[in-house]
Amino acid sequence: MTDIAVVLLLVGIAIFVSWRFRLALEKDFVVASVRAIVQLGVVALVISLVFENLALSVAFVVVMLSVAAFTSSRRLRGVPRAGIIATGAIGAGAVATLAVIFGGRVLDLEPPFIIPIAGMAIGNCMAAVSVAGVRVREEISDKNLEVEARLALGVSAHKALEPYVRRAATVSLIPIIDTTKTVGLVTLPGAFTGMLLGGATPYEAARVQLIVLFMLMGSIAIAGMATAALVTRAFVAEGERIVVPAAR
């Protein structure tokens, strides 16, 4: 615990900078730090219990998925059936990649692997779902006139919305593509750094990091595309019409 106390000195510096430059973020720094300590402490406690039991670890993954779906669905306010869409898209991305990782015996199907891998997949899928869903909603709302001009030319609603779906899905995928392109050049990513700090060799750390990056590319692509397609469908009404999203 002494080491954490030492590192907290850096938070003290951040608070001092905020006070000195009148950023008014002192309270936020304190709240964020306390929350991080409490949340990670609780998670460490729970995970230490869950690591002993496969059924408990699966239940833990379900809880992670539920929280992620709830969080994303709140971002998708105004989208019909937002909860179902978020659960389906995050679930599809996570399940598909977990099936490859554990079905393909890339990693052993054991709690110490299931929890972190599922956590990374679900967390990144959640971000992709929120970004793609919000983008589709905004595109349909902002470009309503353009969408109707397309519909008026006698194309299906699916075809009329195609450019916006594509744009939204692309936006959700760009971060992971850029991260993968620049890995090792701009930043040392989390899994790599964590393994090095944990005493693994650089080769072993690189191997695990590549597994994580490729897994994330796949899961985010599935979740982002699924979200864009499902949110789009939610705004299509009978008669090849578009229901304009309500004001946010």
Partner 1 sequence: MTHVVRPCRIDIEGLDLDRGGRPVLRAVDVSFRPGIVTAVVGPSGAGKTSLLRCMNRLEEPGSGRVLIDGTDARELRPTDLRRRVGMIFQTPVLFEGGVRANLSYGLDHLDGSSLEDALEAAALPASFLERESSALSVGQAQRVCIARALVRSPQALLMDEPTSALDKDASARVESLIRSLGERGLTVIVVTHDLGEAKRVASEAVLVVDGRVAATGSPEEIEDSWPEEAG
* Minimum distance from residue 151 beta carbon to partner 1 (Å): 7
Q: Is 151 in the site for partner 1 (CB under 8 A)?
A: yes
Q: Is 159 in the site for partner 1 (CB under 8 A)?
A: yes
The gap from C-alpha 155 to its chain's centroid, in whole angstroms, comes to 34
Q: Is 247 in the site for partner 1 (CB under 8 A)?
A: no
Structure tokens at 238: 């009978």
Binding mask 107-146 toward partner 1 (x if CB under 8 A, else -) reads --------------------------------------xx
Distance CA 128, CA 221 (A): 8
55 by Cβ neighbours in 10 Å (0-12 / 13-18 / 19+) ranks as exposed
* Minimum distance from residue 54 beta carbon to partner 1 (Å): 51
Contact with partner 1 (CB under 8 A) among 137, 150, 165, 229: 150
* Minimum distance from residue 144 beta carbon to partner 1 (Å): 10
Q: Is 26 in the site for partner 1 (CB under 8 A)?
A: no
Nearer to partner 1, 32 or 246 (CB): 246
Q: Is 152 in the site for partner 1 (CB under 8 A)?
A: yes
Could you tell me which stretch among 72-80, 178-186, 224-232, 238-246 binds partner 1 (CB under 8 A)?
A: 238-246
Distance CA 94, CA 87 (A): 10
Contact with partner 1 (CB under 8 A) among 4, 7, 153, 197: 153
Element (H, E) at 187: none
Q: Which residue has the tokens 């589709």?
A: 136
Q: Which residue has the tokens 């709690």?
A: 111
Could you tell me which stretch among 39-47, 180-188, 223-231, 235-243 binds partner 1 (CB under 8 A)?
A: 235-243
Nearer to partner 1, 156 or 187 (CB): 156
> Residues 6 or more apart from 100 whose CB is under 8 A from it?
106, 215, 218
Q: Is 246 in the site for partner 1 (CB under 8 A)?
A: no
Torsion of CA 117, 122, 127, 131, to 10 degrees: 130
Q: Which residue has the tokens 């080491």?
A: 3
Distance CA 38, CA 30 (A): 12
Binding site for partner 1 (CB under 8 A): 145-146, 148-156, 159, 163, 237-241
